[in-house]
Structure 1
Amino acid sequence: MSDQPFWAADDYPKRALRVENGIQIHSTRGTVARTWWSKRFLAVLEALGVGGRLHRGRSYARSGQIVSCEIDAGSVVALVQGTRPTPYKVRIGIPAWGKEEWGRAEQALADDAWYAAALLAGGMPTEIEELFNGLGLALFPTSQRDLTMDCTCPDSTVPCKHLAAVFYLLAERFDADPFEVLALRGRDRETLLANLRRRRGSTAPEPVVEEDAVPLGELLDSFFAAGDPDLARFAPPVPEPGAVLDQVPELPIEARRHKVRDLLRPAYEALSTP
């Protein structure tokens, strides 16, 4: 009997089978994560001993080997095409917050509408992680127990290249939509925003309280003074260079095997440099 494991038999090709219209990440070189929350996600994987093996799946993610990927409360399920005819099923689990935990989180977010405004603008303020930590909630996994990984491929190494490819895709999806991070913890975009509106109360206008008018001459010393000393916190988040490219459909043409979106990205980054 051959010493070769059964999955290394010669009847399977050495390279992964190509996928028609597969899902591929936009980054063709260098780092994948651009926003702080996606970088934090990959950094957490590094700290948990997972990140060192992620490079195994980078080429899979870039070449479009991912057939499908669905993010739901507490889980990510994907199909990744390998060397066998049937795609491998990848499952990643992160504990979703329960009703009581999300109740505390939503109330804290509703108490300061700035967080919802920042999320709707396509950003996630760094303070949100501190806010959740103060409630005893971790936005990202904190230990190996918070992260489960499974793939139907025969590779005994965890994560295998198929799992690693999905992690890269998740990082890029988080870049494009920070609500995806919260969806993984148990709240999709529509449900979260509806709950925040409900917790902020009625949308009816507040009654106007009439006050005695003060002569303008008595207000001149303070008329032009700034009211809130921390106005910078209300500034909209600065989008990443080329973020608009991630919001438009991919053009069905390529130039020297490079996607038009990737060729345009350096130009956007150059224009954003002072």
Structure 2
Amino acid sequence: MSDQPFWAQEDVPRRPLRVEGGIQIHSTRGTVARTWWSARFIAVLESLGVGGRMARGRNYARSGQIVSCEVDAGAVVALVQGTRPTPYKVRIGIPAWGKQDWARAEQALADDAWYAATLLAGGMPPEIEELFAGLGLALFPASQRDLSMDCTCPDATVPCKHLAAVFYLLAERFDADPFEVLALRGRDRETLLANLRRRRGSTAAPEPVAEETARPLGELLDGFYAAGELDLTRFAPAEPEPGALLEQVPELPIEVRRRKVRDLLRPAYEQLAE
């Protein structure tokens, strides 16, 4: 039994209870975020400078202490197993954009197919931040003021190691799917892409083309050389204008009574055409 009072014992490092089948990030060392967009998100957390809690949060994420994690419009809710029997409930809030904001954002994305193509390929074009900023919208939180964070653990410091663990898990999820970043602002992948297709006028699927059954060659030989009902006059060349051929003749460097040879020959060509 420790001689310390119970309120001081909270700071004593203890091993968290192990989780069977917990969510574990793949990064085993070094930086967690691999893409620029997940790095932008986690930079807010690391800029707070809360010391060893960040390192312990990474260890929690790497050892699979996160029981569950759900990303929805405006909020991330997770359960993180600590040293107590009951997992702690973690919530990270970020303001979701309203309908009018998303309407303007979707129209801006639809106006340039490159953005939609890049998102479909699993990437996040860096210029998308500038595009949204031009609409007065911030894709990523700029500081702690743009986030609300809460955990049911007794640690008074925010963010605690449980919050940090969820941040690192989000960073890895954002690496794999940039649409999760947009989902936090209020648009999931399916809804966003459907709205982009609608705004670009490409929601209608092409009419299916009926396949013709191939007939054996032997059945086609009798009529192979017959024209049938084919109107061959459609392929007749158009009648040229009188003197059209004359226009292709190079201009002769001589004149007859101050008239060009081509002009002298033109009436003859017109008579031949009649």
TM-score by length of 1: 0.69
Q: Which residue number corresponds to residue 171 of structure 2?
A: 171
Q: Which residue number corresponds to residue 246 of structure 1?
A: none
Paired with 2:192 and 2:203, the residues of 1 have a C-alpha distance of 17
What does 1:199-214 align with in structure 2 at a 5 Å threshold? 199-203=199-203
Instruction: Please tell me the residue identity of whatever aligns with 2:164.
Output: A
Q: Which residue number corresponds to residue 142 of structure 1?
A: 142
Paired with 1:158 and 1:13, the residues of 2 have a C-alpha distance of 17
Paired with 2:156 and 2:149, the residues of 1 have a C-alpha distance of 12
> Is 1:68 aligned with 2:68?
yes
Native 8 Å contact 1:43 1:51 kept in 2: no
Name the SS for the 1:163 alignment partner: helix
What does 1:38-57 align with in structure 2 at a 5 Å threshold? 38-47=38-47, 49=48, 53-57=53-57
Task: Rate the CA distance shift 1:193–1:7 in 2: closer, same or farther, 3 A.
Answer: farther
Paired with 2:87 and 2:16, the residues of 1 have a C-alpha distance of 10
Native 8 Å contact 2:45 2:164 kept in 1: no
Which has the greater radius of gyration? 2
Deviation per CA, 1:26-75: give whole Å up to 9, x if none: 0001110101111111223334x267552230100000000000000000
Paired with 1:143 and 1:14, the residues of 2 have a C-alpha distance of 31
> Is 1:8 aligned with 2:34?
no
1:149 is displaced (CA, Å) by 0.4
Name the SS for the 1:153 alignment partner: coil
Instruction: Please tell me the residue identity of whatever aligns with 1:113.
Output: A
Structure 2: which 5+ residue stretches go unaligned?
206-274
Paired with 1:195 and 1:116, the residues of 2 have a C-alpha distance of 11
> Is 1:18 aligned with 2:18?
yes
Instruction: Please tell me the residue identity of whatever aligns with 2:20.
Output: E
Instruction: Please tell me the residue identity of whatever aligns with 1:121.
Output: A
What does 1:71-86 align with in structure 2 at a 5 Å threshold? 71-86=71-86
Name the SS for the 1:86 alignment partner: coil
May I ask how many residue pairs the two structures share in their alignment? Answer: 202
Name the SS for the 2:67 alignment partner: strand
Structure 1: which 5+ residue stretches go unaligned?
206-274
> Is 1:113 aligned with 2:78?
no
Paired with 2:54 and 2:37, the residues of 1 have a C-alpha distance of 17
Paired with 1:98 and 1:203, the residues of 2 have a C-alpha distance of 24
1:203 is displaced (CA, Å) by 4.5
> Is 1:32 aligned with 2:32?
yes
1:158 is displaced (CA, Å) by 0.8
TM-score by length of 2: 0.69
Native 8 Å contact 1:56 1:160 kept in 2: no
> Is 1:130 aligned with 2:161?
no
Paired with 1:59 and 1:46, the residues of 2 have a C-alpha distance of 15
Paired with 2:131 and 2:96, the residues of 1 have a C-alpha distance of 17
Native 8 Å contact 1:67 1:79 kept in 2: yes
Task: Rate the CA distance shift 1:21–1:7 in 2: closer, same or farther, 3 A.
Answer: farther
Paired with 1:167 and 1:51, the residues of 2 have a C-alpha distance of 14
Native 8 Å contact 1:107 1:196 kept in 2: yes
Q: Which residue number corresponds to residue 158 of structure 1?
A: 158
Paired with 1:50 and 1:200, the residues of 2 have a C-alpha distance of 45
1:4 is displaced (CA, Å) by 2.3
Deviation per CA, 1:189-247: give whole Å up to 9, x if none: 00101111111124469xxxxxxxxxxxxxxxxxxxxxxxxxxxxxxxxxxxxxxxxxx
Q: Which residue number corresponds to residue 262 of structure 1?
A: none
Name the SS for the 1:70 alignment partner: strand
Task: Rate the CA distance shift 1:204–1:87 in 2: closer, same or farther, 3 A.
Answer: closer
Cα RMSD (Å): 2.3
Paired with 2:204 and 2:60, the residues of 1 have a C-alpha distance of 52
Query: Identity, % of aligned pairs?
Result: 84
